[in-house]
């Protein structure tokens, strides 16, 4: 059970406070309700480029990192297709430095043209390092547009192509800030060994005078229901053939979301999962195989991916895989199997909740999804999932017409 308090400042900033009396550190976590899905199609990669610029100085503070390091703290941030999340971890005695820095960059950014130039290059190097210069690194750049035809999930957080980042102008970036970075579009979570009254007075002091702004209205195109099996083969200079089966699934706020999570665990979480035992251990078709969900707020994906053993064809794999998938739609998952999946989920939740930063980030995410209290409801929802639920969701999800398959063919296979 993770306890917390919640209050909202007059300007609309939502604040979550989580007390942990055992730690000398404090976390200041700021979630902005903006991600790559909020970009326009001809200017992708902006939310992420912007995240980099958030460290280039704000209206009253020339540079973000130095004062935080001076306070003994460190920070980082990440951008996803859904959100942008910034965190600072510092000795709790110095919490005010964290609030001073974060509130100033919520108030107004002041990065220089040089900062834009440099971060543009840094992001391009990141693009190369993560997506272009790794075997299988560009898979998601290919898979997204295969699955999504309308919804902005069709491009990756890093951007659709490097040219969008190269072409970003100062004006583009400024209007992005104006639209998305304001108190009414943010959730602040403070976690550590302090008192609620202090949190209230400090947040009022540092954030109270920031103009509330308008929460942007999100009006994203709806991805039409997929009606046909899709398949794409790409040839790459990789040593081994790889496959990615992507099934459309319910959005994050749907009541069946966690059931799909359990379904993906049954398929491929660990070395006791169905696909591992059947396709690897029994039939020796693959060298590795796994299944997971993307965790997206809008309709996300259940993905099954792995690599073929030498001499095995994509067709061999396909036949064996669909046989396993259809077993889940025709037969109920045995109770002991479901118990195994649940205890694994419970164990990872306990470990996840161990870290102060994780708790702060999860509370912020749940607050965005509909209420931080939901963080304490998940375990019970998981526990109540039945074999019948899993079968129903398997029937809805694991259909050929709901599936997009990306095959990466090794063009120098032995």
Partner 1 sequence: MPNRILQPELVAIDSIDFVAPKQHVLSDTTSLYHMKDVPNETSRFDLYFDAGVCRGQKGIPSFVNGLLLSGTKDKTSNELQSEINSLGGFLDSGISIENSVVTVYCLREHLPAIFKTVVHAIQGVTFDKNEVQEYLVDRRQSLKISQEKVGYLAQQRFREKLFASSQSYSYTLSVSDIDAVTIGELRDFHKKHYLNGLNKVVVVGDISDEVITEIKDAVTPIIVSSQEDFTDKITNEPGKFEQEKEGAVQSAVRLGRTLFNKNHDDYLDFLILNTILGDYFGSRLMTNIREDKGYTYGIGSMIAELNGTGYFLIATEVGSDVKDATLKEIQIETERLQSELVSEDELELVRNYMLGQLLKSADGPYAMTDLFLSAEIHGKSLKFYNQALASIRDITPERIQELAKKYLKWDDFSIVAVG
Residues 41-80 contacting partner 1, CB under 8 A: 59-61, 65-67, 69-74
Alpha-carbon distance values, 80 to 39, 67, 361 (Å): 12, 27, 13
Shortest Å distance, C-beta 134 to partner 1:
6
Which of 201, 254, 284, 313 contacts partner 1 by CB under 8 A? 284
Which of 195, 198, 270, 377 contacts partner 1 by CB under 8 A? 270
CA–CA gap between residue 29 and residue 31 (Å, rounded): 7
- Binding status of residue 22 toward partner 1 by CB under 8 A: yes
Toward partner 1, which CB reaches closer, 69 or 254?
69
User: Which residues from 180-219 bind partner 1, rule CB under 8 A?
Assistant: 205-206, 209
What is the CB neighbour count within 10 angstroms for residue 174? 13
Closest CA to 57 of 97, 102, 103, 110: 110
**Residue 248, strand partner residues:** 301
Toward partner 1, which CB reaches closer, 343 or 381?
343
Interface pattern 292-311 for partner 1 (x via CB under 8 A): ---------------x-xx-
- Binding status of residue 89 toward partner 1 by CB under 8 A: yes
Shortest Å distance, C-beta 167 to partner 1:
16
Q: Among 4-12, 20-28, 297-305, 315-323, which window interacts with partner 1 (CB under 8 A)?
A: 20-28
Q: For the chain, what is the HEC assignment?
A: CCCCEEEECCCCCEEEEEECCCCCEEEEEEEECCCHHHCCCCCCCHHHHHHHHCCCCECCECCCHHHHHHCCCEEEEEECCCCEEEEEEEEHHHHHHHHHHHHHHHHCECCCHHHHHHHHHHHHHHHHHHHHCCCCCCHHHHHHHHHCCCCHHHCCCCCCCHHHHHCCCHHHHHHHHHHHCCHHHEEEEEEECCCHHHHHHHHHHHHCCCCCCCCCCCCCCCCCCCCCCEEEEEEECCCCCEEEEEEECCCCCCCCHHHHHHHHHHHHCCCCCHHHHHHHHHCCCEEEEEEEECCCCCCCEEEEEEEECCCCCHHHHHHHHHHHHHHHHHCCCCHHHHHHHHHHHHHHHHHHHHCHHHHHHHHHHHHHHCCHHHHHCHHHHHHHCCHHHHHHHHHHHCCHHHEEEEEEEECCCC
Toward partner 1, which CB reaches closer, 381 or 413?
413
Counting residues that bind partner 1 (by CB under 8 A) gives 77
Toward partner 1, which CB reaches closer, 134 or 163?
134
Shortest Å distance, C-beta 377 to partner 1:
19
User: Which residues from 130-149 bind partner 1, rule CB under 8 A?
Assistant: 130, 132-136
- Binding status of residue 125 toward partner 1 by CB under 8 A: yes
Shortest Å distance, C-beta 222 to partner 1:
35
Shortest Å distance, C-beta 309 to partner 1:
7
Toward partner 1, which CB reaches closer, 124 or 372?
124
- Binding status of residue 240 toward partner 1 by CB under 8 A: yes
Toward partner 1, which CB reaches closer, 211 or 355?
355
CA–CA gap between residue 64 and residue 98 (Å, rounded): 10
What is the CB neighbour count within 10 angstroms for residue 322? 14
- Binding status of residue 90 toward partner 1 by CB under 8 A: yes
Which of 121, 254, 313, 376 contacts partner 1 by CB under 8 A? 121
Toward partner 1, which CB reaches closer, 33 or 104?
104
Shortest Å distance, C-beta 148 to partner 1:
27
- Binding status of residue 3 toward partner 1 by CB under 8 A: no
Which of 104, 298, 299, 367 contacts partner 1 by CB under 8 A? 104
Shortest Å distance, C-beta 411 to partner 1:
12
Shortest Å distance, C-beta 205 to partner 1:
5
Contact between 117 and 168 (Cβ < 8 Å)? no
CA–CA gap between residue 47 and residue 65 (Å, rounded): 20
- Binding status of residue 238 toward partner 1 by CB under 8 A: yes
The pair of three-digit structure tokens given for residue 181, joined into one six-digit string: 């970075």
Q: Among 94-102, 149-157, 222-230, 366-374, which window interacts with partner 1 (CB under 8 A)?
A: 94-102
User: Which residues from 327-366 bind partner 1, rule CB under 8 A?
Assistant: 336, 339-340, 343-344, 346-348, 350-351, 353-356
Shortest Å distance, C-beta 188 to partner 1:
16
Shortest Å distance, C-beta 62 to partner 1:
10
């Amino acid at each position: 059970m993770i306890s917390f308090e919640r209050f909202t400042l007059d300007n609309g900033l939502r604040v979550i406070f989580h007390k942990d009396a055992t730690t000398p550190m404090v976390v200041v976590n700021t979630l902005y309700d903006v991600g790559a899905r909020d970009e326009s199609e001809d200017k992708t990669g902006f939310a992420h480029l912007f995240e980099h610029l958030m460290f280039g100085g704000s209206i009253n503070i020339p540079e973000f990192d130095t004062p935080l390091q001076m306070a003994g703290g460190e920070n980082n941030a990440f951008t996803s297709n859904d959100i942008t999340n910034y965190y600072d971890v510092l000795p709790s005695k110095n919490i005010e430095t964290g609030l001073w820095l974060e509130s100033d960059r919520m108030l107004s950014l002041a990065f220089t043209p040089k900062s834009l130039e440099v971060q543009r290059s840094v992001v391009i190097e990141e693009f190369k390092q993560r997506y272009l210069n790794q075997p299988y690194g560009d898979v998601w750049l290919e898979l997204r547009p295969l699955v999504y035809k309308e919804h902005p999930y069709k491009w990756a957080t890093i951007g659709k192509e490097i040219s969008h980042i190269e072409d970003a102008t100062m004006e583009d970036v400024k209007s992005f800030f104006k639209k998305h970075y304001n108190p009414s579009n943010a959730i602040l979570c403070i976690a550590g060994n302090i008192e609620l009254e202090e949190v209230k007075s400090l947040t009022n002091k540092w954030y109270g005078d920031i103009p509330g702004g308008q929460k942007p209205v999100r009006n994203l195109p709806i991805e039409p229901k997929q009606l046909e099996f899709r398949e794409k083969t790409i040839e790459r200079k990789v040593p081994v053939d790889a496959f990615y089966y992507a099934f459309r699934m319910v959005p994050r706020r749907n009541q069946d979301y966690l059931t799909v999570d359990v379904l993906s665990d049954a398929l491929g979480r660990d070395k006791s999962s169905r696909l591992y035992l059947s396709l690897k251990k029994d039939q020796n078709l693959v060298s590795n195989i796994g299944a997971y969900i993307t965790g997206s707020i809008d309709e996300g994906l259940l993905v099954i991916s792995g690599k073929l053993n030498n001499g095995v064809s994509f067709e061999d794999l396909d036949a064996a895989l669909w046989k396993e998938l259809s077993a889940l739609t025709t037969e109920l998952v045995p109770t002991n199997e479901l118990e195994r999946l649940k205890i694994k989920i419970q164990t990872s939740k306990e470990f996840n909740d161990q870290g102060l930063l994780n708790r702060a980030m999860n509370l912020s995410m749940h607050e965005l999804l509909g209420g931080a209290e939901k963080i304490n409801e998940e375990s019970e929802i998981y526990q109540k999932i039945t074999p019948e639920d899993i079968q129903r969701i398997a029937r809805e999800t694991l259909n050929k017409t709901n599936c997009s398959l990306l095959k990466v063919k090794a063009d120098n296979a032995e």
